[in-house]
């Protein structure tokens, strides 16, 4: 078997095992939560008969292992169950919510990834000079601030003071693309500021590490300009760590948007998960947790494979 194909099969098998382990962990954590899920759904005024009926409907009268394998079998066939609070099909609800989250993540990634790489290249080209210091200082400040604080600052200035963007990111199917982009402008700006710093600083560090190589000095002696040396010789050889940090931040754009979606009341997966946690809707929490875990594992697998393909020493191991 070709070494690259063998590594691909190994990563795929490891990803499947991690996904099964994540599902078991998520299910186990919901089981050990304090309190009674049926009591939390029905409230303190529920009668014993209603509580017993709901526990039976939720399967709480059966062993946890039996319920886990039944739930896992349903997930593998696309049946995520029914929400306890509104009796709607979870898969149908998640479909629209996941689409909204991916829409938000797509535009944040479309802006942040190229911008981070460009700023990283500029910081390397003007290392220890004012452009590098300004870029590093701004990105360090954005790393230091939590995303909810950045969100409230942008809401205060751009929504309350200047009226340039809405403070709540409401989407509807009747909106045009321009109206949708205007509605999500502030959440996209927050996510861009949050992930931009990590990607820019990793790009800068990876390229500076490569710039110490002997072939970079040879390229400079050939008369190439600073930018030519960086994007022709240094950047292609620093792509592996850059891809890793980009994929990790793309996973954050899908998995870690809970706070941003709650602040802007955005109808995405994060808001759906928070509502389910508040209402103790266990089937929804389980479904959202598995989807988030799957997205994170898949993107990390893609990062590993791209790193392997970009590195000749990994493509042709001794």
pLDDT of residue 4 exceeding 80: no
90 located within any domain: no
Question: Do 26 and 125 belong together in one domain?
Answer: no
168 & 226 share domain: yes
- Co-location of 130 and 251 in the same domain: yes
One domain for residues 31 and 140: no
Question: Based on the domain organization, do 52 and 101 belong to the same domain?
Answer: no
Same domain, 191 and 142: yes
Question: Domain span at residue 223?
Answer: 96-315
Structure tokens at 302: 């893609």
pLDDT class for 315, splitting at 50, 70, 90? low
Q: Are 193 and 148 in contact (CB under 8 A)?
A: no
Q: Rounded to whole angstroms, how far apart are CA atoms 263 and 56?
A: 36
* 11 confidence band (pLDDT: 50, 70, 90): confident
Instruction: Report the predicted TM-score, pTM, of the whole model to 2 decimal places.
Output: 0.82
Tell me, what CATH number does 121's domain have?
1.10.3720.10
Q: Are residues 143 and 38 in the same domain?
A: no
- Domain presence at residue 86: no
260 and 139 within one domain:
yes
| Coil/strand/helix, residue 150 | helix
For residue 239, what are the CA distances in angstroms to 73, 86, 229, 292, 309? Answer: 39, 47, 15, 26, 10
| Distance, CA of 248 to CA of 256 (rounded, Å) | 11
User: What's the half-sphere exposure (Cβ side, CA atoms, 13 Å) at 196?
Assistant: 25
Q: Record the tokens describing residue 71, joined without a space.
A: 């739930």
**What is residue 311's predicted lDDT score, i.e. its pLDDT?**
63
Q: Are residues 116 and 70 located together in one domain of the fold?
A: no
State whether 110 and 203 are in the same domain. Answer: yes
**Which among 267, 276, 94 is positioned nearest to 168, based on CA atoms?**
267
User: What DSSP element (H or E) covers 30?
Assistant: helix 3-31
pLDDT digits (tens, 9 = 90+) for 47-101: 777 777 777 777 777 777 888 888 888 888 888 888 877 778 888 888 888 889 9
Give the pLDDT score at 35.
65
Same domain, 45 and 135: no
């Amino acid at each position: 078997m070709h070494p690259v194909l063998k590594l691909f099969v190994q990563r795929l098998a490891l990803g499947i095992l991690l996904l099964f382990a994540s599902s078991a962990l998520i299910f186990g954590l919901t089981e050990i939560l304090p309190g009674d899920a049926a009591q939390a759904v029905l409230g303190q005024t529920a009668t014993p008969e209603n509580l017993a009926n709901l526990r039976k409907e939720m399967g709480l009268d059966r062993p946890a292992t039996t319920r886990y394998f039944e739930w896992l079998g349903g997930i593998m066939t696309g049946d995520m169950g029914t929400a306890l609070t509104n009796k709607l099909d979870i898969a149908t609800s998640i479909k629209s919510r996941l689409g909204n989250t991916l829409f938000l993540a797509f535009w944040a990634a479309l802006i942040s990834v190229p911008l981070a790489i460009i700023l990283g290249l500029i910081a390397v080209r003007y290392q220890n000079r004012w452009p590098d210091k300004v870029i590093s200082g701004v990105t360090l400040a954005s790393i230091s601030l939590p995303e909810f604080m950045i969100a409230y600052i942008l809401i205060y200035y751009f929504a309350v003071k200047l009226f340039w963007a809405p403070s709540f990111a409401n989407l509807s199917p009747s909106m045009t693309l321009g109206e949708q982009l205007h509605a999500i402008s502030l959440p996209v700006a927050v996510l861009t500021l949050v992930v931009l710093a990590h990607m820019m600083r990793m790009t800068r560090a990876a390229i500076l590490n490569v710039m110490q190589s002997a072939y970079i000095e040879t390229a400079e002696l050939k008369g190439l300009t600073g930018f030519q040396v960086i994007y022709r010789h240094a950047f292609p050889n620093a792509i592996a760590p850059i891809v890793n940090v980009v994929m990790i931040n793309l996973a954050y754009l899908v998995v870690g948007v809970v706070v941003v979606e709650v602040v802007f009341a955005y109808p995405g997966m994060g808001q759906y998960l928070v509502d389910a946690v508040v209402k103790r809707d266990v089937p929804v929490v389980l479904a959202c947790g598995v989807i988030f875990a799957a997205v994170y594992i898949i993107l990390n697998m893609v990062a590993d494979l791209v790193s392997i393909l970009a590195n000749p020493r990994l493509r042709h191991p001794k």
